[in-house]
Amino acid sequence: MHKRNIALLYGISLLQGMVFYGPISTLYRQVQGIGIFQILLIESISYALCIVLEVPWGVVADRIGYKRTMLICCWLYFLSKIVFWQSTDFAGFLAERVLLSVVITGLSGVDTSILYLCAGPQESQHVFGVYNSLGEAGLLGAAAVFTLFVGDDYRLAALLTVFSYGAAALLSLGLTEVRPAPAERAAREPFKATLRASLAAPGLAALLVASGLLTEVHQTVTVFLNQLQYERCGMTSTAIGAVYIVTSLLGLCGAFSARFTGAAGPRRAARLLCLAPALGCLVLMATDRAALSVGCVWLLRVSDSLFQPYRLRLQNAMVRTGNRATALSIHAMVVDTVSIVTNLAFGALAEWDLRAALGFGAVAAVTALLLLERVRRRTGLQEVG
């Protein structure tokens, strides 16, 4: 049962990674008349909804079960891609992100809880790495299709994404429940007790803020600002698509996250994974050369791919309550709060000057490093940083 769940989640991750419009996601919206500030404003609204929905969804998931939650969210994910495909204005793209917020908060902590409970603490970082890497493999395959066959037909790219998410929704029907039925569990823990237990681990708050900063730097620079940087460098749509293929391929290195942190040591690994995006943003800010710009985006991609499985293992290991989905949703709420502030700053700065936004990314990454160092000094948790 456990191996089957892991295999199905691997398949879902692969299919949901197949976003065929990924290489031109910013340009796609701009063709429909949506500016960069509006794009990032929609992202911020999405994050705000995530904060509102995180904890309620976590409570629901712990009560109705992880399988049912996955089913609901996978089918809503499918619906959100249909909405995106049909969107032609700000309202349409906003509606898509609203649906996506419901999905993200529903899945938050549920997919990783299933993987953690099925794989066990010792193997979880490896499983998280493979899970994330398969999502990147989906992106790679979709980017290859876009570059070789889709080209400038942006609407076709959106339609193909609808098909891949529909297949993922069908795959979710095969999942089995791993959370015990209510009758088999101990007396239901009051929410206040779950809240206290969720944030009780030493250094957790600083870890979550650092995670939010690093994740948002990667998300904003490699998904939105990179395309503006590429245009600034004079790259064509075909070249952007080809670069995106390699960027997706580099995301597969997340499967080696456990090996990387083991070889470098957790403290050194944490430092490297903060300094790499800081350096990448600084170089992007200073250059208009295509080769350097592409290399820096690749550096951000590698560092984030190695960091995410590492921080997922730490967060799951810090859960001190049976209501795992609720606890992880509370964690995600903290991260989302950081993301909203960071994303609005990126949007305002990018509208004014792209280089200012990239400089802000460097500052955010260095701040994450200082937070992780503070966690280590105050708590003695060597594996945090």
pLDDT at 377 over 70: no
Confidence of residue 229 (pLDDT cuts 50, 70, 90): very high
Does the residue 185 lie in any domain? no
Burial class (CB in 10 A: 0-12, 13-18, 19+), 119: buried
**What is the per-residue pLDDT across 316-364, written as a single tens digit (0 to 9) for each?**
777 777 777 788 888 888 887 888 788 888 888 988 899 999 999 999 9
**Long-range contacts formed by 41-46: CB under 8 A, 24+ apart:** 41/344, 41/347, 42/90, 42/93, 42/94, 42/97, 43/97, 43/343, 43/347, 44/340, 44/343, 44/344, 44/347, 45/94, 45/97, 45/98, 46/97, 46/98, 46/100, 46/101, 46/104
Does the residue 58 lie in any domain? yes
Structural domain for 244, as ranges: 2-179+191-379
Does the residue 55 lie in any domain? yes
Q: What is the CATH number of the domain that holds 163?
A: 1.20.1250.20
Does the residue 287 lie in any domain? yes
* Predicted pLDDT at 261: 86
Report residue 259 as tokens: 């090996």
pLDDT at 382 over 60: no
**Any idea which residue has 């997919």 for tokens?**
111
**Which tops the pLDDT comparison, 163 or 199?**
163
Count: domains in the chain: 1
Does the residue 184 lie in any domain? no
Report residue 144 as tokens: 């290859």
- Low-confidence winner among 76-80, 101-105, 134-138, 201-205 (lowest mean pLDDT): 201-205
pLDDT at 183 over 60: no
Does the residue 214 lie in any domain? yes
Does the residue 68 lie in any domain? yes
Look up the pTM and report it: 0.73
